Amino acid sequence: MIELQHIVKDYQSGNHKVTALNDINLSVNKGEVFGIIGHSGAGKSTLIRTINLLERPSSGRVFIDGVNMTELASRKLQEERRTIGMIFQHFNLLSSATVADNIAFPLRLAKRSKETVERRVAELIGLVGLDGHENKYPAQLSGGQKQRVGIARALATNPKVLLCDEATSALDPQTTNAILALLLRINRELNITIVLITHEMQVIRSICDRVAVIDGGKIVETGPVSQVFLKPQHPTTREFVEQVSGAVDKGLPLMEEAGEPQTLIRITFIGEQTYEPALYETMRDTNVPFVILQGTVSRLKNTPYGQLVLELHGAQRDTEQAIERLRSRGLDVEVIRHGSDRA
């Protein structure tokens, strides 16, 4: 659906060249919600704006539905952009236009008939939950309502792709959840491919199917959200995961009983494993005492998951047997530290 091939974006700053994007290669499947996460200045806004060529790459190619966007002449590019909607962090609404007129704006630019415009505006107002607000102006709306107008406007020309540039970062948590739920419903009901950028892992966890982590203009990690979230590889990814899961204090002192070193482990459950009594049954059968130091049970989009950090007590041979028993049940078990590993 979307293919970015060796994208480089350079800027000139005085006598110096600044590389904002460095050899970016990404593919986004039709109908999925794809997230791009990074810190401020990492290049994520530049990256998402290269998809519709609001930022033209210095080199590389952008394909959407098999069309090489980077080779299109100006008029043809303008036509193709109508298949790509975009919503913005600060809404970018016309302050002197009503809700209805803001939504109608791209349709009028496309020279659609009055009847088509009125029908489509009415459809979209219902879709985004703005019934009764048609004749209000942006100054009369809440932040969440303004973003709903922005979403409706982005959908006006029936796009195949919806780009979201920090669409929820200016909103409070409750409103953010409502907007994310709306985007997920749009994705499911209209089968629109969504690419969103954010600096919040909670946004990625809530609605994305896959994610790419960008740092210093490079993609440093990518994959299904469950894989990246539960087993982060890059330090930047681990920072974002800790936003929502919390860091494990590896310096936490371990107790010792009868001079036997103890073991700190992290167990990851995913899918139906989350609801199975694997931990209880394993520790009962192996007779290994344990203490839960940290625990989470939540969801990654539609997938339940859980993570527990445990301190296992007893002889090392017994704790190793318990760990192997847990792994034999299909659980991911990471040994964080043995008592004998202390500095």
Q: How many CB atoms lie within 10 A of CB 88?
A: 16
User: Which pLDDT score, from 0 to 100, does residue 317 have?
Assistant: 86
The β-bridge partners of 40 are none
How far lies 193's CA from each of 91, 169, 188, 260, in Å?
Answer: 20, 21, 9, 55
User: Which pLDDT score, from 0 to 100, does residue 269 have?
Assistant: 86
User: Which pLDDT score, from 0 to 100, does residue 258 have?
Assistant: 45
User: Which pLDDT score, from 0 to 100, does residue 247 have?
Assistant: 54
Contact 93, 138 (CB under 8 A): yes
The β-bridge partners of 21 are 9
Tell me the pLDDT tens digit for each residue of 138-184: 999 999 999 999 999 999 999 999 999 999 988 999 999 999 999 99
pLDDT at 58 over 60: yes
pLDDT at 248 over 90: no
Tell me the pLDDT tens digit for each residue of 102-131: 999 999 998 999 999 999 999 999 999 999
| Enclosing H/E stretch for 68 | strand 67-68
Q: At what angle do helices 99-109 and 143-155 cross, to 10 degrees?
A: 20
CA atoms within 13 Å, Cβ hemisphere of 51:
31
How far lies 40's CA from each of 88, 183, 215, 216, in Å?
Answer: 16, 23, 9, 10
| Enclosing H/E stretch for 6 | strand 2-13
Average pLDDT along the chain: 90
| Domains within the chain, CATH numbers bracketed | 2-243 (3.40.50.300), 263-341 (3.30.70.260)
Instruction: Output the DSSP codes for 189-234.
Output: HH--EEEEEES-HHHHHHH-SEEEEEETTEEEEEEEHHHHHHS--S
User: Which pLDDT score, from 0 to 100, does residue 339 have?
Assistant: 59
Contact 58, 35 (CB under 8 A): no
Residue recorded with tokens 């459950």: 269
